[in-house]
Amino acid sequence: MAGQARGNVTVDVEECKGCGLCVESCPPKCLELLPELNAYGAHPAHYTGHDCSGCGICFYCCPEPGAITVYRLKTKTKAPAPALAQEAGGDHAAAL
Ligand code: SF4
Ligand code: SF4
């Protein structure tokens, strides 16, 4: 499913046990299992690099604490006034 990415995901390949729950649960299907094996002999999950919405479903279904981290992109907001304007958009918000 194509769309503008609103999130980003990183996977610690040595913490991932390759269960595939995140891959199956991701609505836009932007996660996959790598063909390579990690130190535990598992195929770790990998973000394809596009279409993440930042929904966090993969984070909540992952059984391995620390294996997957989700970042939400800051949404662009209208600048209230020049004196109070803050830079917005493009940076990563706090991780889940
Ligand atoms: S945060 Fe949501 S859209 Fe992004 S990889 Fe995880 S499940 Fe998929
Ligand atoms: S749910 Fe967690 S342990 Fe399972 S494949 Fe995804 S990142 Fe790896």
Beta carbons within 10 angstroms of residue 68's beta carbon: 25
pLDDT tens track of the chain, all 96 residues? 455 679 999 999 999 999 999 999 999 999 999 999 999 999 999 999 999 999 999 999 999 999 999 999 887 776 665 654 444 444 455 566
pLDDT of 63 reads 97
Ligand 2 nearest atom to the CA of residue 45, by list position = 5
User: Any residues with Cβ below 6 Å from ligand 2, and which?
Assistant: 11, 16-22, 45, 61-64, 67-68
Ligand with the closest atom to the CA of 96 = 1
Range of the domain at 72: 1-96
Q: Kindly compute the dihedral angle of the four CA atoms of residues 13, 53, 7, 96, in this order, to the nearest 10 degrees.
A: -70
pLDDT of 5 reads 77
Q: Kindly compute the dihedral angle of the four CA atoms of residues 78, 49, 63, 65, in this order, to the nearest 10 degrees.
A: -70
Q: How many domains does the chain have?
A: 1
Q: Tell which one of 6, 11, 53, 69 to mutate to probe ligand 1, the residue whose CB is within 8 A of the most ligand atoms.
A: 53
Q: What is the CATH number of the domain that holds 67?
A: 3.30.70.20
Q: Is 57 in the pocket of ligand 1 (CB under 6 A)?
A: yes
pLDDT of 80 reads 66
